Structure 1
Amino acid sequence: MIDSDMGNDTTANNTLRKKELGELALRNAEQMAFPSTEWEANTLAEVLALPRVTVRRAPEEQLLAAGMLPYDCHVNCFAQAANDPDRMSRHVCGWLIYGSDLILHSVVETRGHWHCLTPQLVQAPSQFQFIPDSFIEWLETSDGVRHAFRGGVRLPRGLRKYPEHHLRMRDELHDLIASGMSAFDAREMVDVTLGAELRKMEPI
């Protein structure tokens, strides 16, 4: 016999998770849908010429138990480097290779091993390709917050091989939500249509 309270808790957790995933999808779509520029194309080419490393990601439950924050990689790695009593952890900022995009990301390097400390809300590979970028620097802006810059330019969420596709995905997501669809369901719909198209394009 299934406890009714347990069933209610499971339903509530699933509803909350869908809400979080929908909000995350909307936020990511907004952050990746910015006008294309010559600077982005040139920077993408420069970064792709840099060496790559393989980064390993610990299980989500292990990272959460250690106090790491989901989708807050820069904070996680700053904290790890600052609080490592042996001073062996080095915070490295660079680019996670994700299909045809490069996503701004932070990892930690310890004794030649590369680790991702950031839990994911959805299942993610246990390892991935990463491009360390020594040209990235963290500067405090007028809002009192430190942001990532490269060559004097504040960095966006990512560098895109097909920027126009991200604009279409953002617009479609907004249209579906405006029609009454939840952000989670809209995310699922866009993923099986425009998302599938993007995954068929030549990756990085």
Structure 2
Amino acid sequence: MGVRMLDGQAANDAQRQRELGDLAIRNAAAMAFPPTDWEQKVLGEVLKLPRVAVVRPPEQELLAADMVRNDCHVNCHTQEANDPERLSRHVTGWLIDGSDLILHSVVDYGGHWLCLTPQLGPAPSKFQFIPDPFIEWRGTSDGTAKEAFRSGNLLPTALRKYPEAHIRMRDEFSRLMASGMSAFDARKRVDATLGVEFRKKDPI
């Protein structure tokens, strides 16, 4: 029984590492888009908007409510659409993460700000969030999904204070993977080197 339990735990750990590795690949690509004057302009505009404190309920509660990991926009849209009391309002804005603003959705539940999205990696139970009233959701041309726009422009995953740093981390991550390192280990290596340097920069 003990051996089977250990084997099961090892399999779970390996699966989680694969999932975290896949997430690292997606995040590295999503955060390393070319910098533009438009991004810096919008960053300045957003930072002038009011902030709120958002609470994330325990992970097991969110999973039991069928909330999907790392899929905040769908989770909040679904909550608003299926709330029989009509207390839930899907709000899109920006999660403050160090020197980055991450495009994120939360729910205003009768005046209580809640994040309904469990995360694959460690996540704070409370964080600062900037609701953005200028964001609108539009259907894609094929009608299969929706995309976030602001003042007529399709929004990226984030607004970055130091975009060049993300590009450097993406390039190093790609180099390590090309050398044969797994995505999970490459992400750990980058986080322990360039990531440490990045986190020393002035936050927003």
**Is this a same-fold pair by TM over 0.5?**
yes
Q: What's the CA shift string for 1:164-192, capped at 9, x where partnerless?
A: 00001111000000001000000000001
Could you list the runs of 4 or more consecutive aligned residues of structure 1 that deviate by over 2 angstroms after TM superposition?
none
Residue in 1 that maps onto 2:149: 149
CA–CA distance in structure 2, aligned partners of residues 59 and 123 of structure 1: 12
Q: Does the residue aligned with 2:193 lie in a helix, a strand or coil?
A: helix
CA–CA distance in structure 1, aligned partners of residues 87 and 137 of structure 2: 20
Q: Please say if 1:179 is aligned against 2:179.
A: yes
Residue in 2 that maps onto 1:37: 36
Q: CA deviation at 1:143?
A: 3.2
- In structure 2, the gaps of 5 or more residues are none
Which deviates further from its counterpart, 137-146 or 97-106? 137-146
- In structure 1, the gaps of 5 or more residues are none
Q: What's the CA shift string for 1:28-60, capped at 9, x where partnerless?
A: 010010000010000000000000000000111
CA–CA distance in structure 2, aligned partners of residues 23 and 157 of structure 1: 17
CA–CA distance in structure 1, aligned partners of residues 140 and 58 of structure 2: 34
CA–CA distance in structure 1, aligned partners of residues 170 and 183 of structure 2: 12
Residue in 2 that maps onto 1:62: 61
TM-score normalized by structure 2? 0.98
Q: CA deviation at 1:123?
A: 1.9
Q: Please say if 1:198 is aligned against 2:198.
A: yes
CA–CA distance in structure 1, aligned partners of residues 148 and 190 of structure 2: 29
Q: Does the residue aligned with 1:134 lie in a helix, a strand or coil?
A: coil
TM-score normalized by structure 1? 0.98
Q: Does the residue aligned with 1:128 lie in a helix, a strand or coil?
A: strand
Residue in 1 that maps onto 2:117: 118
Q: CA deviation at 1:15?
A: 0.3
- Please provide the CA RMSD for this pair: 0.8
Which deviates further from its counterpart, 93-102 or 141-150? 141-150
Residue in 2 that maps onto 1:132: 131
Residue in 2 that maps onto 1:71: 70
CA–CA distance in structure 1, aligned partners of residues 109 and 63 of structure 2: 20
Q: CA deviation at 1:141?
A: 2.2
Residue in 2 that maps onto 1:168: 168
CA–CA distance in structure 2, aligned partners of residues 107 and 26 of structure 1: 24
CA–CA distance in structure 1, aligned partners of residues 157 and 109 of structure 2: 25
Residue in 1 that maps onto 2:107: 108
Which deviates further from its counterpart, 139-148 or 194-203? 139-148
Q: What's the CA shift string for 1:79-114, capped at 9, x where partnerless?
A: 000000010100000000000000000000012110
CA–CA distance in structure 2, aligned partners of residues 187 and 60 of structure 1: 23
CA–CA distance in structure 2, aligned partners of residues 88 and 15 of structure 1: 40
